A and B are shown apart, each in its own frame.
Chain A
Amino acid sequence: GDSVTQMEGPVTLSEEAFLTINCTYTATGYPSLFWYVQYPGEGLQLLLKATKADDKGSNKGFEATYRKETTSFHLEKGSVQVSDSAVYFCALFSNDYKLSFGAGTTVTVRA
């Protein structure tokens, strides 16, 4: 079935560092792709999404581009802050109407 694979964490960075979290997907057709974020003690929140190839989703300084040729949707941020410390989940919405999540990547940003 359709699935996503994201890089394992944890990832520890200093403030203002560049962040990349890799995500690749396996799917039939062209699924919509998402990044969700989970801050400590909270539920998941949608961070950004892309619904077709070459779309770029962006929010709060984060970006991800839907790459059909590499089946990827990598998350990037040019300058992270301590407040970006969270767990990040890549997800896809498949043809069977399910949102399938990756295992999550824990990011810790140190001041």
Chain B
Amino acid sequence: ETGVTQTPRHLVMGMTNKKSLKCEQHLGHNAMYWYKQSAKKPLELMFVYNFKEQTENNSVPSRFSPECPNSSHLFLHLHTLQPEDSALYLCASSQGYREAANYEQYFGPGTRLTVT
């Protein structure tokens, strides 16, 4: 595997379910990100981890819970979601965080989440 991978690619869940999204980067990067992409809206930054430490929580509801066990893996745990949470969830990584102007963010293909 190369680059940034995400699993599953598609997920349908009920509002009472608990599920997790997984992201893995094979680039040796130190920073990882979760974004939400909704139709006709700008990408919304959700969380940032730098060297496994959370550096940014962009006012995300607590029904989304991130976990970063090491610099290569990032999870997004989901519970009691709402239909408006249906979106494409993108993971990204970069070599640096505060230096990100000079470091490209590499994105995974995303997980298409549908909440019923």
Contact = CB atoms under 8 A, between A and B. Distances in A.
Contact of B108 (A43, A99, A101): A43
B42 A45 contact: no
B43 A101 contact: yes
B110 interface: yes
A103 B97 contact: no
Given A41-B109, A43-B109, A102 B42 contact: yes
Interface stretch (B11-19, B61-69, B73-81, B99-107): B99-107
Interface in A21-53: 31-32, 41-46, 49, 51
B53 interface: no
A71 B67 CA distance: 38
Chain B interface category by residue count: 20 to 34
B113 interface: no
Given A43-B107, A43-B108, A103 B41 contact: yes
B76 to A, nearest CB: 15
A100 B101 CA distance: 12
Nearest to A41: B109
Which DSSP category, helix, strand, loop or mixed, fits chain B's interface?
A: loop
Nearest to B96: A97
Contact of B43 (A31, A41, A42, A89): A89
Contact of A99 (B4, B105, B106): B105
Given A43-B90, A43-B107, A44-B90, A97 B41 contact: no
Given A41-B109, A97-B97, A97-B98, A46 B42 contact: no
Contacts of A104: 42
Interface of A: 31-32, 41-46, 49, 51, 89, 93, 97-104
Interface of B: 4, 40-43, 45, 56, 90, 92, 97-98, 100-102, 104-110
19 contacts: A31-B101, A32-B101, A43-B4, A43-B90, A43-B92, A43-B107, A43-B109, A44-B107, A51-B102, A89-B43, A93-B100, A93-B101, A97-B97, A97-B98, A98-B45, A98-B56, A101-B42, A103-B40, A103-B41
